[in-house]
Amino acid sequence: MYKRIRDLREDKDLTQQQMAEFLHITQATYSRYENGNLDLPSVVLIKLANFHKVSIDYLLDQTDNPKRFTGKKE
């Protein structure tokens, strides 16, 4: 379910342990998030979206566009 959080982490050559430390959770909990065995709380979704500079919709596989909507016209 949360394949994109794994892909984004791996793209940055980060371990699950490093991401878990950033989120202040255990590596086991982070692993459960990646495997879809545990739903991501909204606070974790927000932190991950901010960390990876992508939209929450992208993390949740609701869009293929990782770009975040800022409300500003470019």
Which helix (H) or strand (E) segment holds residue 10: the answer is helix 3-11
At 20, the pLDDT band (50, 70, 90 cuts) reads: very high
What would the pLDDT profile of 23-53 be if each residue is shown by its tens digit? Answer: 999 999 999 999 999 999 999 999 999 999 9
Q: Mean pLDDT in the chain?
A: 91
Q: What confidence tier does 73 reach under pLDDT thresholds 50, 70, 90?
A: low
Specify the pTM.
0.85
Q: 1.10.260.40, 3.40.50.720, 3.30.2310.20, 3.40.47.10: which CATH number matches 3-59?
A: 1.10.260.40
- The residue among 71, 62, 26, 66 whose CA lies nearest residue 44 is 26
